[in-house]
Amino acid sequence: MLRYICIRILSMIPILLGVSILVFATFHLVPGDVVDIMMGDEVAGDPKVLMELRKELNLDKPVYLQYLYWLWDAVRGDLGKSFTSGKPVMEEILHRLPVNVELMIIAIAFVILIGIPMGMLSAYKQFSFLDGIVRVATIMGYSIPNFWLATIVVLLGSLYFRWLPVLQYVPFSENPLENIKCMVIPGFVLGLTTLSYIVRMTRSSVLDTLRQDYVRTARAKGMTEKLVLFVHVLKNSLIPVITVLGIQIGVLIGGLVLTEEVFVLPGVGRLILLAIEQRDFMIVTGSILFIASVFVVINLIVDIVYAFLDPRITY
Amino acid sequence: MDEKKENGEILSPSRLAWMGFKKHKLGIIGSIMVIILILVSLFSSVVAPYDPLAMNPKDSLRAPCAKYWLGTDRFGRDQLSRLLYGTRISMEVSFGAIAIAIFLGVVIGLISGYYGGILDNIIMRLLDILFAFPLLLLALMLVAVLGPSLENLLLTIGFLYHSRFARIVRGSVLAVKEKEFIEAIRSVGARDITIILFFILPNVLSPVIVQATFNLSTAIMVEAALSFLGLGTQPPTPSWGLMISESRRFMELAPWLAVFPGLAIIFAVLGFNLMGDALRDALDPRLSQR
Amino acid sequence: MAGAKRPMERREDDRLILRVSGLKTYFFTTEGVTKAVDGLDFEVRKGEVLGLVGESGCGKSVTALSILRLVASPPGRILEGRIEFMGKDLLRLSDREIRKIRGSKISMIFQDPLTSLNPVLRIGYQLSEVFRYHKGMDRMKSLRESIRMLKTTEIPSPEERVKNYPHEMSGGMRQRAMIAMAFACEPSLLIADEPTTALDVTVQAQVLKLMKEICREQETAILLITHDMGVIANMCQRVAVMYAGRVVEYTNVFTLFSEPAHPYTEALLKSLPRLGAKRTRLDSIEGQPPQLHRLPPACPFEPRCEYSAARCKEEAPGVTCLREGHEVRCHYPINGKKE
């Protein structure tokens, strides 16, 4: 197991390098350079200032050197300075990160705590009324765009229930209770699509496992249905669910941008959106590199969880 | 790998698939929804009661009524007409993007799977890098650089989705490549290109079709999401995502503006998903774990 | 009538462990009703090995599952019949009561030890479950018992094996572990469903020998389900030949091989290779195995029977008793010694 974890950690390095090259290339190999894009239509920038800026960003050096400088800084946690605010990008990200982390935790908790039991129940009572409702609800669930649902929730909240805290973010450190109040709904909305996938996956996986010979063996040993379900079926059925959850975390991260936008929460997603609008590419590259790296690490964790669940995995 | 199919049946595989598909009631409903979407997008100029761009300040922000079935937006543009034209945009982007994705993905997958070796290894590692990004984030990044426009959106989504097709095609090619009939064809001296195009490609199509149907639905979602964020279709072009975004400023005055475009997205996504489920069950039961 | 006879029978058969009578297990699917077991009768006595033989799909495995009420439902359902085990009708027990019997008084061994063992749980855990559940032992004690049990199945270094997952063991070893699990509570009856089919030939013999030994020690009766006549000859005292959900011939193993009375039994025996036989080709049984949802109205074997007569198409044959302990379900049993 330890060897497997080490190998997986090492195999992360080329992926991270690839990610950094892609991010770098996207922003540095387009026609013109960052400075041109940044200035946009305002052609009349002071040439001296532009030169300074190019020098500071190492744009006067060959491309591969630019990349290496950039990468070296990034590895040390320096993602450059924002063009607009002048603050280090890393500081901007870390300042907003708690919002994202909290939203993700709420969404994932919601998905796991409701999705897995619901999927199991639906499978165990296959063809029942409940199963029918769950199946229809999940198909609907992943057809609803979460930004629309968020919009409607805000609409209903403010218009009909006079329930305004939705749009007033309170940091956790200031007032934990108020903070959770304004984060729970966005978290649920964010998790809804994923919840539908997880319920469906759990359901089909449990159904598949229930048909396996070893479940019959467990019953033939005289195990109670509870033991059969929670000892023999659950662990086996979670294996494919974990894979789907890993993929879905990427979807959730994408959804964060939209959720933050609609609920006006000051997270990294809104930071990126604002930066794109203001052509602050240091923030955009930095944030995307940061989030992609976090995602790579999350995937690593999912893989390790997977290996713990399935002893057949060998490397 | 898939020798478990019941032999002894005289029916051809395509006929069997059709029979499986017909049994799927939800699949039929989904296909009807998809057909409606395609018809609406082809004939939006015929079915739309008004010009979707025609402004009419006198009738600004009207609630749904006999004249404007779904109401009007702040410029007095007919919401229904905009929705119908929005269908065309949505279908254009998603079909166009998925067509690009399929083309790239199938070519890459075929080459990678058929030739194998170092080439395959390099290609797959490169694709791994694409998979290391949350999809929407990569889309944001590309659109941010390319600039927001319909064409860029189409190219971006096409580029993002090709990796999925490449992986699936590669997997299927690896399975087909080892079959005896390929060996037999090779032994009579067929060229690689002939084998790939006439013997391997037809055998990897069904997973591609299934994947394409599902990806159409997510592409609709991504198009709407990016347009919602102002990074896709630009005003005044009617797009569902954009319409939801615009509606937010008048939410309390005209809530209907937020509701209907969302329902249109749900309709489209649901249609493709239902059709995809049925196609998957009919064509390739092994794909059921996405 | 049956009620009046019962006390006498019981005195006569105090060694009787299992009596299955009139068992019907059907499967209700969209394609129609599959009569997997359709009026089955047989008995198993203490310490004896009864062979249940037949082609695949004749209802052997469904019979095994029906006894422990493990038939998947839906689509399967046990419609009628009695399964008397030590005087109790298993079909009338509550779920709780039948669970107490499963794995302790009646245990099962399945065909494929790889799929029958849970891939994500250690062997030791899967074994100790039986002790924990049926004997109320704690973790440590049940694990010690598991190791002891593995020792009796001659698995080398059982202390190490309990830490293994099924995929880390060989096929033979996995089946030994299954056997250890089955004999853990010294059952009165062991149902072995094709226990050696998935194993290598050399391992087959070892596993059969092991089963025989432990059974003798624990005085366990076996219901051995197989399609392999060689295994039947090696293991059984009496044999029930099954065809299309019914027993078509029921006799002791010697009579079965020397004087088969049912044409189907004869055909099965003819398909066996024999040492020193002049034949160069093995006979196969003509036609397809019966489709259980579309059976011929009268004798189910009639379409494939080489002795088929007009009566066989019209009237289902009843049970004929040729002599004490030799029953056959055929209008025209084959007489005399085989040529």
pLDDT tens profile A103-153: 999 999 999 999 999 999 998 888 888 888 898 888 888 899 989 998 888
With a cut of 70, say whether residue B12 has pLDDT above it. no
Which of A127, A220, A239 is opposite residue C70, by nearest beta carbon?
A220
For chain A, say whether B266 makes contact (Cβ under 8 Å): yes
Q: Is C183 exposed, middle or buried (0-12, 13-18, 19+ CB in 10 A)?
A: buried
Contact A159, B252 (CB under 8 A): yes
CATH code assigned at A223: 1.10.3720.10
Please answer yes or no on whether A235 and C121 come within 8 Å at the CB atom.
Answer: yes
Rounded to 5 degrees, φ, ψ at C190 are -115, 125
Q: Total structural domains in chain A?
A: 1
Contacts of B225 in chain A (CB under 8 A): 145, 147, 254, 258
What pLDDT sits at residue B100? 94
What pLDDT sits at residue A115? 93
Contacts of A240 in chain B (CB under 8 A): 289
Of A47-61, A264-278, B82-96, least confident by mean pLDDT is A47-61
| Contacts with A, B 190-249, CB within 8 Å | 217, 221, 224-225, 228-231, 241, 244, 247-248
Contact A150, A186 (CB under 8 A): yes
Contacts of B142 in chain A (CB under 8 A): 26
Question: How many beta-carbon pairs under 8 angstroms link A with C?
Answer: 77
Contacts of A219 in chain C (CB under 8 A): 70, 102
pLDDT in tens, B38-51: 998 888 777 777 77
With a cut of 90, say whether residue C284 has pLDDT above it. no
What pLDDT sits at residue B3? 34
With a cut of 60, say whether residue A300 has pLDDT above it. yes
| Contacts with A, B 75-104, CB within 8 Å | none
Contacts of A14 in chain B (CB under 8 A): 125
Contacts of B273 in chain A (CB under 8 A): 139, 142-143
What pLDDT sits at residue B98? 94
With a cut of 50, say whether residue B195 has pLDDT above it. yes
**pLDDT, average across residues A77-94:** 83
Please answer yes or no on whether C101 and A227 come within 8 Å at the CB atom.
Answer: no
Q: Which residue of A has its CA nearest to B139?
A: A254
With a cut of 50, say whether residue B2 has pLDDT above it. no
Six-digit token string for B96: 């166009």
Six-digit token string for B75: 């410029």
Which of B140, B262, B273 is opposite residue A272, by nearest beta carbon?
B140
Q: Which residue of A has its CA nearest to B272?
A: A143
**pLDDT, average across residues A88-100:** 89
Which of B132, B136, B241 is opposite residue A257, by nearest beta carbon?
B136
Q: Could you tell me the pLDDT band of residue A4, with boundaries at 50, 70 and 90? A: confident
DSSP string for C256-300: HHHS--SHHHHHHHHTS--TT-S-SS----SSPPPPTTS--SS-T
Mutate to test the interface with A, among B125, B143, B221, B247 (most CBs of A within 10 A): B221
Task: Please provide the average confidence, as pLDDT, over all residues in chain B.
Answer: 82
Q: Which residue of A has its CA nearest to B126?
A: A18
Interatomic CA distance for residues A37 and A58, integer angstroms? 16
Please answer yes or no on whether A147 and B228 come within 8 Å at the CB atom.
Answer: yes
Question: How many beta-carbon pairs under 8 angstroms link A with B?
Answer: 139
pLDDT in tens, A21-43: 988 888 776 655 666 655 655 55
Which of C100, C107, C120 is opposite residue A309, by nearest beta carbon?
C120
Six-digit token string for A81: 């300075």
Helix (H) or strand (E) holding C323: strand C320-323
Question: In percent, how much of chain B has pLDDT > 90?
Answer: 21
Contacts of A239 in chain C (CB under 8 A): 120
Q: Could you tell me the pLDDT band of residue C251, with boundaries at 50, 70 and 90? A: confident
Please answer yes or no on whether C133 and A235 come within 8 Å at the CB atom.
Answer: no
With a cut of 50, say whether residue C329 has pLDDT above it. yes
Task: Please provide the average confidence, as pLDDT, over all residues in chain C.
Answer: 81
Q: Which residue of B has its CA nearest to A279?
A: B144
Interatomic CA distance for residues A243 and C220, integer angstroms? 46
**pLDDT, average across residues B54-69:** 72
Which of C65, C116, C120 is opposite residue A236, by nearest beta carbon?
C120
With a cut of 80, say whether residue B96 has pLDDT above it. yes
**pLDDT, average across residues C82-105:** 87
**pLDDT, average across residues A267-295:** 88
What pLDDT sits at residue C10? 45
Q: Which residue of C has its CA nearest to A308?
A: C120
Please answer yes or no on whether A139 and B255 come within 8 Å at the CB atom.
Answer: no
pLDDT in tens, C110-131: 888 888 999 989 998 998 988 8
Please answer yes or no on whether A311 and C167 come within 8 Å at the CB atom.
Answer: yes
Please answer yes or no on whether B141 and A145 come within 8 Å at the CB atom.
Answer: no
SS3 B67: coil
- Min distance A242 CA to chain C CA atoms (Å): 15
In a domain, A289, yes or no: no
Q: Pick the residue with more confidence: A36 or C144?
A: C144
Q: Which chains touch C (3 or more CB pairs under 8 A)?
A: A
Please answer yes or no on whether C181 and A235 come within 8 Å at the CB atom.
Answer: no
Contact A176, A95 (CB under 8 A): no
What pLDDT sits at residue B289? 37
- Min distance B253 CA to chain A CA atoms (Å): 10
Length of chain B: 290
Domain of residue A189: give its range. 96-265
Q: Which residues, 6+ apart, have CB-to-CB distance to A256 below 8 Å?
A: A100, A103, A104, A190, A267, A268, A269
- Min distance A61 CA to chain B CA atoms (Å): 22
With a cut of 80, say whether residue C13 has pLDDT above it. no
Q: Nearest Cα to A279, choosing from A62, A141, A84, A90?
A: A84
Please answer yes or no on whether C133 and A221 come within 8 Å at the CB atom.
Answer: yes
In a domain, A296, yes or no: no
Contacts of C117 in chain A (CB under 8 A): 214, 217
In a domain, A251, yes or no: yes
With a cut of 90, say whether residue B266 has pLDDT above it. yes
Mutate to test the interface with B, among A151, A162, A167, A260 (most CBs of B within 10 A): A151
Which of A26, A144, A145 is opposite residue B142, by nearest beta carbon?
A26
For chain A, say whether B261 makes contact (Cβ under 8 Å): yes
Q: Which residue of A has its CA nearest to B218?
A: A143
pLDDT in tens, A160-187: 666 555 566 777 777 777 778 788 888 9
Q: Nearest Cα to B73, choosing from B62, B86, B84, B81?
A: B62
Length of chain C: 339
With a cut of 60, say whether residue B261 has pLDDT above it. yes
For chain A, say whether B262 makes contact (Cβ under 8 Å): yes
With a cut of 80, say whether residue C290 has pLDDT above it. no
Which of B141, B146, B289 is opposite residue A240, by nearest beta carbon?
B289
In a domain, A60, yes or no: no
Please answer yes or no on whether A217 and C110 come within 8 Å at the CB atom.
Answer: yes
In a domain, A21, yes or no: no
What pLDDT sits at residue A32? 59
Please answer yes or no on whether C133 and A217 come within 8 Å at the CB atom.
Answer: no
Q: What is the DSSP letter of A212?
A: S
In a domain, A215, yes or no: yes
Contact C52, C12 (CB under 8 A): no
Please answer yes or no on whether A158 and B273 come within 8 Å at the CB atom.
Answer: no
pLDDT in tens, B135-173: 888 888 888 888 888 888 899 999 989 999 999 999 888
Q: Which residue of A has its CA nearest to B134?
A: A250
Strands C238-243 and C49-53: parallel
Q: Is B14 exposed, middle or buried (0-12, 13-18, 19+ CB in 10 A)?
A: exposed
Q: Which residue of A has its CA nearest to B132?
A: A296
- Min distance A109 CA to chain B CA atoms (Å): 20
Strands C189-193 and C106-109: parallel
Contact B158, B100 (CB under 8 A): yes
Which of C65, C100, C118 is opposite residue A214, by nearest beta carbon?
C118
What pLDDT sits at residue C302? 79
With a cut of 80, say whether residue A201 has pLDDT above it. yes
| Range A40-74 burial, b when 16+ CB lie within 10 A, else e | eeeeeeeeeebeebbeebbbeeeeeebbeebbeeb
Q: Is A108 exposed, middle or buried (0-12, 13-18, 19+ CB in 10 A)?
A: buried
In a domain, A288, yes or no: no
Q: Could you tell me the pLDDT band of residue A65, with boundaries at 50, 70 and 90? A: confident
Please name each of the domains of chain B with its CATH number: 70-288 (1.10.3720.10)
Q: Which residue of C has its CA nearest to A224?
A: C99
Please answer yes or no on whether B262 and A254 come within 8 Å at the CB atom.
Answer: no
**pLDDT, average across residues B74-94:** 85
With a cut of 90, say whether residue A307 has pLDDT above it. no
Interatomic CA distance for residues A247 and A262, integer angstroms? 24
What pLDDT sits at residue A117? 93
Contacts of A232 in chain C (CB under 8 A): 118, 121
What pLDDT sits at residue C1? 36
